Structure 1
Amino acid sequence: MPWQDNSGNRGGGRGPWGQPPRDPGGSGNNNNGGGGRGEPPDLEDLLQASRQRLKRAFPRGGRGGGGGGGGQGGGMPPLNKGVIGLIAAGLVGLWLFSGVYQVASDELAVVTTFGDYENVNGPGLHWHIPAPIQSVRKQQVLSVRDMPVPAANRRGGQLSPGLMLTGDKNIVDVAFIVQWRIKSDLVAPQGEEMPGVAQYTFNIDDPEGLVRMTAEAAMREVVGRNTLDFVQTEGRTDVASQTRDLMQTALDAYDAGIQIERVNLTLAEPPTNEVNEAFRDVQAAEQNQATVIQQARQYTNRIVPEARGEAQRILEEAGAYAAERTADARGQAARFNDIYEEYARAPEVTRQRMYLETVEKVLGDVDKIIIDEDAGSGVVPYLPLDQVRRQQQQGAN
């Protein structure tokens, strides 16, 4: 269908649906382009009406700013209370959703209200009133931090930061490592206003500097109370333990919220190489002395019981011998008395008996051959009769 109808009035000014054009100012009787005659709406009238509404909703500086250029200016959708309410609700929802936060398993979250401490939340999903009302500061409380003290142990003519004066007026070069972490209490201890993690967040600005300063001060105090030998040898563990206790006491007094886990003493030597070598020689001599003393004690522990046992054995043998000799002497005396009484009664018989017993005792263990006087008249005196007898015994066996 042609956009112009030549049969109409005003030089073909009717639209494609047979409707005459409207006033560009939008002053027609019906804004929907119906013309009151049941005709379909004019597309140009609809666009023009939309432009007019946008101009009224968003004026651009005067009457002449939005009137020209009928179909040239762009527009925005009309704003009303419903749209503004939806936008405001969306913004409020986004603002509230921004208060959701996640706390990791090794963290604690300190919640503040207008900068003041509110509470501490543990691991998990939480919500707080979004900024600027409340804010959250997360701290890692389970990770242990290592801090070497001194930070740089300089040598080569310059004084080392680890040089300390001992109780016996000697100088020792000390280096150690401090292991610390943030306290993980969720509630404040008795007598405290905030838990440790909140104290760490609010009360200190430079935690590493505070720990380093406290460590150096505590170590100097402990070293100053002990001798050089004690610090360098058997007292290293005690020095580290006392330093840790002093550091913890000082940090608790500062309400720092820091927990000292361990202090490891890594260096405790004289400041120069010459003195260090001499001290190592002294340590080696002391170790050799301790070794020799230990060996001597082991030898003593082995020899003394053996000597005591040998002495006890000799004493017991001497006692047994004395008892034996005493009993034998008493038996001999009693036998002599008995023989004397028998001799007093019968001297000849007793004398003969004593002779025979003596000969029996003397000749009892002698290998002898007795030859009858009559049978031995023809025997050669040099005949080895003992050998003959031994041969006879072997032949009998």
Structure 2
Amino acid sequence: MPWSNQSGGGGPWKGGGNNGGPWGGGGGNSGGPWGSGPNRGGGGTPPDLEELLKRTQDRMKTVLPGGGGGRLGAAGVLIVAAVVAIGWLATGFYVVEQSEVGVELVLGEVENQTPPGLNYNWPYPIGEVFTPEVELQRETTVGTVESVSSAGVVRARDVQEESLMLTGDENIVDVGFKVLWRIKNTRDGINDYLFNIQEPAATVKAVAESAMREVVGGSNIDAILTENRVSIQNDVATLMQTTLDAYRAGIEIAEVQMQRVDPPAQVIDAFRDVQAARADQERIRNQAEAYANQIVPEARGKAAQVLEAANAYKEQTIAEATGQSQRFTKIYEQYRNAPDVTRERIYLETLEKVLGTNNKIIIDSQTSGSGVLPFLPLNDLNGRSAAPAARTGGN
């Protein structure tokens, strides 16, 4: 035997006196890794394997039921080992909720993604399971901290270290906003979310603050406070998504909502006065433009009317002059042919024009009395009788 008695003591755990070996007792320094320390003295006896097994069996009897013999003790060990193994294997069952996805790891590597329901994977430490909520929409707030008082009242407090930002025209603006985000519901997105970043909420908050500062830094304060909020929100969401994709964070940005955009509290009153003055200026400018839009077309219309009337008068005068000259030429030609007849005719036509529009009184010197000859205005009577006839026919 390798542990046979030899002069000077033998074996790897040499003991001194009468107590050599790793399992032996006795005074002095007993040897062996489980003793009180190796004995550097003389020789000793080798360990008894049968005695070692007997002592182990005796100790197991105090723990296992049905002790009494070596065979029963070994059966008890097997039973306990089987029960422990079954219990360990049973811990591999897990439940995935409806809004979750199960991610199974075996020896630290992703093996499978499981749907909602009861599933099984190797128990710890061989296997491990993560169940992230992929359908849950999370919310991260920047620039504001909400606290609940003892009475249950929710109060919001500004965090100026996060909310104060510098605009493109070198003004300071106080911006509070929140980001709605969720886990990308893809295999790679879920794995990236679980294993590429340690604190997703803190990462989203840092990226959101950085993106908002970049977008606000490229805009003027008037546009930020008035009509440009929607485009700023869209630009921030796009920039955040690009950054998170570069990080392979497995996060999808749903929406960015600007909740508060104000000047700093120290100058907000003066800034509101400036904004009111600008609003008045814009209102007066709009009124002036509306008045100009009303007056200018009217003036242009009147000018065009006068111009058209002048052109018409010009054409009329030219046409009348041309006609008069042609008429005079024609009359002159007839006058050269028959001067007496033409002169008489001109005289009669002139009297017709002059006397045709005047009231007529005819005096006959040969009649007795006053000499006034009664005159019946047939033309006037005919005109008056024609007017009622026309009205009657119209009805």
Deviation at 1:331, TM superposition (A): 0.8
Report which of the two structures shows the higher radius of gyration computed on alpha carbons.
Answer: 1
Aligned counterparts of 1:207 and 1:307: Cα–Cα separation in 2: 68
Report the Cα offset of residue 348 of structure 1: 1.9
Higher relative contact order (CA 8 A, sep 6+): 1
TM superposition shift of 1:145:
1.5
Q: Alpha-carbon deviation of 1:101?
A: 4.1
Q: Aligned pair in 2 of structure 1 residues 365, 97: CA closer, same or farther (>3 Å)? A: farther
For 2:111, give the aligned amino acid.
E
* SS of residue in 1 equivalent to 2:325: helix
| Cα distance in 1 for residues equivalent to 2:217 and 2:384 | 97
- Write the distance in 1 (CA, Å) between the matches of 2:221 and 2:349: 89
* Cα pair 1:369 1:386 within 8 Å, conserved: no
Q: 1:249 aligns with which of 214, 234, 242?
A: 242
CA pair 313-121 structure 1, distance change in 2 beyond 3 A: farther
Residue aligning to 1:59: 67
SS at match of 2:357: coil
Deviation, structure 1 residue 111: 1.4
Cα deviation for residue 393 of structure 1 reads 9.7
Worse-matched range after superposition: 240-249 or 262-271: 240-249
Aligned in 2, Cα 1:312/1:255: closer, same or farther, shift over 3 Å? same
Would you say 1:379 and 2:370 are equivalent positions? yes
Aligned residue number for residue 7 of structure 2: none
Report % sequence identity. 45
Q: 1:371 to 1:216 in 2, by over 3 A?
A: same
Q: Counterpart in 2 of 1:223?
A: 216
Contact 2:162 2:209 in 1 (8 A): no
Is the aligned partner of 1:315 residue 2:323? no
> Quick check: 2:103–2:114 contact (8 Å CA) kept in 1?
yes
What is the alpha-carbon distance in structure 1 between the residues aligned to residue 382 and residue 370 of structure 2?
Answer: 18
Conserved in 2, the CA contact under 8 Å of 1:368 and 1:386? no
The alpha-carbon distance between structure 1 residues 373 and 146, as it changes in their structure 2 partners (threshold 3 A), is farther
Residues 179 and 255, structure 2, Cα contact 8 Å, conserved in 1: yes
**Secondary structure of 1:173 counterpart:** strand
* 1:106 has 2:107 as partner: no
Task: Please tell me whether residue 183 in structure 1 is matched to residue 174 in structure 2.
Answer: no
CA distance in 1, matches of 2:374, 2:133: 115
For 1:358 and 1:181, the matched residues in 2 are separated by 106
- The aligned counterpart of 1:338 is 330
Residue in 1 that maps onto 2:201: 208
Q: Give the whole-Å Cα distance in 2 for the aligned partners of 1:136 and 1:393.
A: 115
The normalised TM-score by structure 1 is 0.65
Extract unaligned runs of 5+ from structure 1: 1-56, 63-77, 187-194
Q: CA deviation at 1:240?
A: 2.4
2: CA distance, partners of 1:367 / 1:207 = 111
Q: CA RMSD in A?
A: 3.9
Give the match for residue 46 of structure 2: none
SS at match of 1:107: coil
How much does 1:357 deviate? 0.6
- What SS is found at the alignment partner of 1:234? coil
Contact in 2 for aligned 1:109/1:120 (Cα 8 Å): yes
Cα distance in 1, alignment partners of residues 178 and 223 from structure 2: 19
Displacement after TM superposition at 1:179 (Å): 1.1
- Superposition deviation, residue 356 in structure 1: 0.8
Q: How far off its partner does 1:354 sit?
A: 0.8
Counterpart for residue 284 of structure 1: 276
Question: Contact 2:66 / 2:73 at 8 angstroms: preserved in 1?
Answer: no
Residues 320 and 378 of structure 1, relative CA distance in 2, 3 Å threshold: same
> Is the CA contact (8 Å cut-off) linking 2:363 and 2:371 kept in structure 1?
no
What is the number of equivalent residue pairs in this alignment? 309
Q: Say if 2:362 and 2:374, in contact at 8 Å, map to a contact too.
A: no
> What secondary structure is seen at the aligned counterpart in 2 of 1:142?
coil
Separation in 2 of the partners of 1:214 and 1:163? 16
Counterpart of 1:140? 133
Q: 1:100 to 1:344 in 2, by over 3 A?
A: same
Give the aligned residue type for 2:283. Answer: T
| d(CA) in 2 for partners of 1:285, 1:91 | 81
Q: Is the 8 A contact 1:154 1:160 kept in 2?
A: no
The residue type equivalent to 2:369 in the other structure is: G
SS of the equivalent of 1:208 reads: helix
The answer as to whether partners of 1:244 and 1:263 remain within 8 angstroms in 2 is yes
Q: Which runs of 5+ in 2 are unaligned?
A: 1-64, 146-155, 389-395
**Residue equivalent to 1:120:** 113
- Quickly say closer, same or farther: Cα 1:392–1:214, change in 2 above 3 A: closer
For residues 305 and 206 of structure 1, the distance between their equivalents in structure 2, rounded to whole angstroms, comes to 66
